[in-house]
Amino acid sequence: MAPRTSGTVSKALDIMDLFHYRDDGLTVTRIATATGINKSTVVRLCATLEGRGYLQRDPRGVFVIGPQIENLARVFRNQFNLEEVVRPVLAQLRDETGESSSFYVIEGNARICLFRESSRHRIRHVVEEGTRLPLKEGVVGRVLLAFSGSKGALSQTIRDDGYLDADGREPFTGSVSAPVLTKSGHLSGAMVISGLSSRFSMEKRIKARRSILDACTQIRDVLPD
C-alpha cells in the first residue's frame, strides 16, 4: 500500500509551482484562481510559506519567491558534488568556443541553469545560474525532453544524433546542446553552448558539437551510475 500523502502540503506545493514562470509575482486572487484553492486557504498557506522564507511580499503586497528558495538551490547544486566535476568542463568549453556554456537539469516542468560559465565577450548570451525556464522551450530543453523519453520525430532525431544544433530561444542566438548521461544511460542533465548568431557561425557550431560531445563523455566517465 502506498503511503498516504498530505493534502495541505500538496496545496502548498501547488502554490509554489505557480511561481516557476512568474517573476512579477502573484496575488492571492490569481493563486486561488490558478490552483482552485479557496482564498482563505491560500491566505493561510501563503502566510505560512512567507513565515518560513519561501515566499515574501513586495511593496505592492504581491507574493514573490523568498530567499529560502536560493538556500535550497545552493544545497541542490552542492549535494552531489556535481559542481567540482562540471564547472571546469564548462570553463573549458567556454575557452574553446568563446561562447557561454551551461549545465541544465530538469525539475518538474522546468529546466534549471545549475552551472554556467559566461562568455568573456562584452556582448553575449546571458542567463544567470539558478534561472528556471520552461522545459519545452529552447535547444537544451528539447534535448532534456528527448533523453527523458519524449515521443515524436524531433525527439527521436535528437536521440539518434546525440545532440541538437539549432537557433536559440532568444532571437539572433544559436545553441548546441547534448545530454550528460551516466554509464548506464541515466540522464543527469544537459550541456549547452550558446552565442550570438553573428559570431557563433555554423562553422563554429560544427566544431562546438565535437567539443560538447567530448565534454559530456568526460563527465560521464566520472559520474556514479
The answer for residues whose C-beta is within 8 angstroms of residue 149's C-beta and 6 or more apart is none
What pLDDT digit, counting tens, does each position of 98-129 carry? 999 999 999 888 899 999 998 887 776 677 88
Here the contacts of 22-29 (C-beta below 8 Å, separation 24 or greater) are 24/62, 25/58, 25/60, 25/62, 25/63, 25/64, 26/62, 26/63, 26/64, 27/61, 27/62, 27/63, 28/63
What pLDDT digit, counting tens, does each position of 52-83 carry? 999 999 888 899 988 888 888 777 656 557 78
> What single-letter DSSP state applies at residue 152?
S
CB 191 within 8 A of CB 101: yes
pLDDT at 130: 85
Name the nearest CA neighbour of 85 among 115, 113, 112.
Answer: 115
What pLDDT digit, counting tens, does each position of 140-195 carry? 999 999 999 999 999 999 999 999 998 867 767 889 999 999 888 889 999 999 98
Q: How far apart are CA 72 and CA 92, in angstroms?
A: 28
Q: Which domains does the chain have, with CATH numbers?
A: 7-66 (1.10.10.10), 72-220 (3.30.450.40)
pLDDT at 23: 72
The answer for residues whose C-beta is within 8 angstroms of residue 166's C-beta and 6 or more apart is 139, 142, 174, 175
